[in-house]
Structures are given as structure tokens and as C-alpha cells.
Amino acid sequence: MQPQVTQLITLKNAWMASHILDAEFPTPLSQQGLAIYEAAQAERNATQIQDAPSLAQTELLSFYPVDCHPLTIRYAMVSASQWADQESEAMVEFLTQIMLDDDSPARLYVGFYQGKPAACGMIFSHPDCPDVTLISDICAFPLANQDALVSAMTAWLIAQASEQAEQLWIC
């Protein structure tokens, strides 16, 4: 993996942690969620995206940028569904602390299936790594079509990110 990609992953993880570490009064549950998130991220590897997947599969979902707190909650609920009950609760507490603004290096998205939130993911880019964009934190509710939902979210995020990045990596 290229040093610039490793740096971008480190920046993404630091940005995620900042919502708890920089908080004046973080809750113990949000701190526990951060620890769970960091442990999960340590196990991930990044791979470079060479070919864009078919956009036909994206028709399964309707995509929305997370631009308000209700969508942050939906993002958190979908993402937290990847963990068992007690860890899931901590993940929701952690992820609902995310604060986005126009200068945020992350863009979060929620994919809706049949009118309900079902998948989520992130596009992360940073001025310190201008040629590289990271697609990460992709997941879907554990439904019968979970793999298809993840594929649709992945394909859509790649299409969005490929418009502005020289190198795309996924982890």
C-alpha cells in the first residue's frame, strides 16, 4: 500500500475519533463505541479500485448525502447493525456524534431500499493527500439481499468519487 493511502486512512480514523476525543463531555458509551470502531479499522486493508463496477446495480437504492442530524442517525443505525447488541448500542452513540460541515473531509451517504435506510458508506478525501480518495465504512442492514445492497452502495460511491480523484482506494 502506498504511503499516501496509509496517511489518508490515518487521517480518516483521526477525523472519526475527533468527534469523541475533542468533545468536552464525551459519554462513556461513545468512548466505548470509538474503541470498537478503532479495533475494527485496525483489521481492514485497503485495495486500489482499478475498474468501476456497473452502475446498473445502483438502481436498488436511493442515495442521500448525510446533511442533517436525522440522516446522521440513520447512517449510525445502519453502520451499527454490523455489531452485536451491546456493541451496536455503543456504535450508535459514537456515530451519532459525527458533526459534518462544508469543510469536512468526509462525505457520508445513506442508501434507502423501499423507502427505508438500508446501506451506508463514506467518501473521504483530504488536502494532505490530494490525488487519493478513500471509500470506506460501507455496510448494509443484515437483510436477505445484504450483499446486493453493499454492492449497490459500493458502485454508487465509486461513481461519485471517480469524478474527482486520480486514485480510488477502498477499505
Per-residue pLDDT of the chain (171 residues; tens, 9 = 90+): 688 889 999 999 999 999 999 999 999 999 999 999 999 998 888 888 877 777 767 889 999 999 999 999 999 999 999 999 889 999 999 999 999 988 999 999 999 999 999 999 999 999 988 889 999 999 999 999 999 999 999 999 999 998 777 899 999
**C-alpha to C-alpha distance for 60 and 105, rounded to whole angstroms:** 27
Q: What sign has the CA pseudo-torsion 141, 146, 149, 153? A: positive
Name which of 134, 129, 140, 141 is nearest 157 in CA terms.
Answer: 134
Output the pLDDT for position 53. 72
Q: Give Cα separations from 155 to 20, 33, 67, 130, 162 (angstroms).
A: 30, 28, 21, 22, 10
Domain total of the chain = 1
pLDDT in tens, 66-96: 999 999 999 999 999 999 988 999 999 999 9
Output the pLDDT for position 22. 93
Residues spanned by the domain of 160: 3-170
Output the pLDDT for position 161. 93
Q: What does pTM read for this prediction?
A: 0.94
The single-letter code of the amino acid at 24 is E
Which residues sit opposite 48 in a β-bridge? 169
Output the pLDDT for position 88. 97
> What CATH number did the domain enclosing 26 receive?
3.40.630.30
